[in-house]
Structure 1
C-alpha cells in the first residue's frame, strides 16, 4: 500500500528578505503534484523543518498581526488537506490530481457563509423556501455569535458547538430555539458531508441540546370548533379566515402552506391528493361533505388556487408569508369572538389532540398528519379533557371499581 506524502514548502529566492509563496507538495505512487497557497513569507518567517510560520521579534505590529492571521488560516488549510487525503484513502483508488482538485474545491466552498448561501439557492430552486429561511436565520445567529469572523466548515467542532450553545442560552434564547439552531447547523454539516467537503463525525452534536422540550400546547377544545362553525359573520375577510381554519381541521390538520397552494388539479375523484411542501410526502384525503361545502363556496374565484389565499401576481414565498400574516391577524379577531387564541397552527394541533382524546391510536394520527415519526405527533398532543384522569383519581382515593371501555376501536 502506498502512502501519500504531503509537505509544505516555500519557494526560494536569491534575493534576501524577499517574500515568496508557499505551496503544498503531494507525492503519491511516485507522482508529484504542487498546489499553491495564498501566502507569501520571507525566509525568517518560515520554518521549513517544522513547516511552521514564525513571527520574528523585529516584525512590525502590523506585520505580526498579519502573520498571526496567516498562521491560523494556514493551520486550517493543512487540516483541510489532511481531511481530503483521509477521505480519499477510505474510498480506495485515487490519483494525486484528484487530491489537488478536491483540495481546491474545498478551499473554494469550505467557507461556511459561502456554502450555506449556495445551499439556500439550491433549496429555493427546489421550492423549499421555508427550509431556506431556516438556513439563513441559523447562519445569521451563528455569525453573530462569531462576531462576523468567518470560518471553514471543518472548523465546526464539539468545543465550538458548546460555545455556541452557551452563547444562545446566555442571550435569553429558549431551549427549543437553541435546539432549532443546532439541528439546522447539523443538517447543514450533514449536507457538507454528502458533498465530500468534511468528514462524518457521528457524535459531533451529542453534547449540545438538540431535543425538543414540551411547550404550551397549541390546541383548543372541540367545542371551540363548533363555536366557529356557528358564528354568523358579516365580514367576508373573517368568513374566509374561518373557512380556511375549518378546512385545515377537516383535512386532518392540513398545514396552511399546503392549503394555500391547493389547486383544482389536487382534487382527484373523491380525494384531495397533494405533496407536503415540508417533507415531499404525498398525502391523500377523502373529501368530507364539510370540505366539499367550503370548496364550493369559493368555486367561482378566479385563479388556479382552490381558495383565494395567494394571488396570481404573487404566488411565491414572499406572497405566501404575506398571506400567512393576514390569516393569523384575522384569526386573532376570530379568537376574541370564541374566547380563545387562534392561529394557523392551532387547527393542526387540535385535530391531533381531538383524535387522541377520542382514542384514535397515535400511529394512525401520525400517518394522517404526514409525520415521519410518532415522536413528532406527540408534540401536537394536548390533554383537552381531564375528566377521565379526575375519575381515575376518584377511583384511587375512594376505592371505587373501574369499568372503562375503549372509546375507539380499530377494525383491521
Structure 2
C-alpha cells in the first residue's frame, strides 16, 4: 500500500486480517463501523487526507441523525481513530494528535444495568417452572458468582480451564489472565450449566465449532440468552431489567457498595485500569443524593 491508499480499502483489509487472526468479536465491531462509513461516503473514494476535523463533525452529525445513541456514535468514531492511527503507523497518513478533539469519543452513563440487592436476592430465590427460564436464571447467577465473568469468556472456556475448584482463563478483551476459586454456590451452578457431552471442545454448550462458524454459534447463544433474560426480568418483577452484562455490572456495583477498594475490584474483574472499573458504578445512588438534599432543605425550611 502507498500514500494514495483509500481509507475504506485499508479498513476493509484490517477487518479481514482480524478475522484471519481469529479476533471475530473485534472484527465484528470494525465491520459495523465500516458499514456506517460506507453508508455516509456512498460510492465516493475516501482517502486518509480527507479525514479532517470538519469532516468528522459532519460524520458525527450524520450518525446522530441516524438516531444512534451517543455511546454508539463514540464507538464508531473510536474505530475510525484506531484505523487512522494504524495508517499513521504504516506511513499512509500524517500524524495530527488533535484530529479527533472536536468529536465525542467518550462514554456516557446509559441505562442502569446493575441489579440492586433486593433484585439479586429475589432472582436467587425464585426457581422457574419453565426449563428455559430456569436455565437462564442459573446461568446469570453463575456469571455473577464467577466475579461477573463476561458471557463471551464463559462461552469459550475449555474443560482444561477448570482444575478441581479453580477456574483459570484469559480475558478475550484485554488478554488478562484471571484465576477464580469456585465457592460452593458457583460450583453447584457450574455443575448444572456445563456441557453434558464429555467430548465437547468447550466447557459450556454455547459453542461447538472453531473459527467463524463457532463465532456465529456464540452470537446465536448470546441473543437467545438475552431474550430469555428479558422474559425472566418481567416474570420476577425486576425493575432494572436483565441482560447478559447485568451480572458483571451487578457484581462490581455490589462490591463497591460494600466499600471494597476499587483497585481490588479492578484486579478481580481483569480491567486494565481503575478508571475502567469506575465506569461500572456511580459513587452515590439517586436515593442518597435525594436524601442529602432533603436534609439540607429541612435545615432551611422546617422551623
TM-score, normalised relative to structure 1:
0.66
Q: Distance in 1 between matches of 2:286 and 2:16?
A: 48
Cα RMSD, aligned residues only: 2.4
Larger Rg: 1
CA gap 1:315/1:250 in 2 versus in 1, 3 angstroms: farther
- Quote how far apart the aligned CAs of 1:385 are: 5.7
Which residue in the other structure is 2:93 paired with?
A: 198
Asked if the contact 1:310/1:320 (under 8 Å) is kept, the reply is yes
* Aligned counterpart for 1:343 among listed residues 229, 243, 250: 243
Which residue in the other structure is 2:135 paired with?
A: 240
* Aligned counterpart for 2:175 among listed residues 265, 269, 280: 280
CA gap 1:291/1:280 in 2 versus in 1, 3 angstroms: same
Which residue in the other structure is 1:322 paired with?
A: 220
Which residue in the other structure is 1:304 paired with?
A: 201
Which residue in the other structure is 2:105 paired with?
A: 210
SS in structure 1 at match of 2:103? coil
Name the count of aligned residue pairs: 294
Structure 1: segments with no counterpart, 5+ residues: 1-104, 400-412
Structure 2: segments with no counterpart, 5+ residues: none
CA gap 1:398/1:133 in 2 versus in 1, 3 angstroms: same
TM-score, normalised relative to structure 2:
0.88
CA gap 1:202/1:225 in 2 versus in 1, 3 angstroms: same
Q: Distance in 2 between matches of 1:363 and 1:167?
A: 39
Q: How does 1:2-401 map to 2 (within 5 A)?
A: 105-106=1-2, 110-298=5-193, 301-302=196-197, 303-312=200-209, 316-340=214-238, 341-382=241-282, 389=289, 392=292, 396=296
CA gap 1:229/1:384 in 2 versus in 1, 3 angstroms: farther
- Quote how far apart the aligned CAs of 1:376 are: 2.1
Q: Distance in 1 between matches of 2:92 and 2:227?
A: 44
Which residue in the other structure is 1:65 paired with?
A: none
Q: Which has the higher contact order (CA 8 A, sep 6+)?
A: 2
Asked if the contact 2:208/2:214 (under 8 Å) is kept, the reply is no
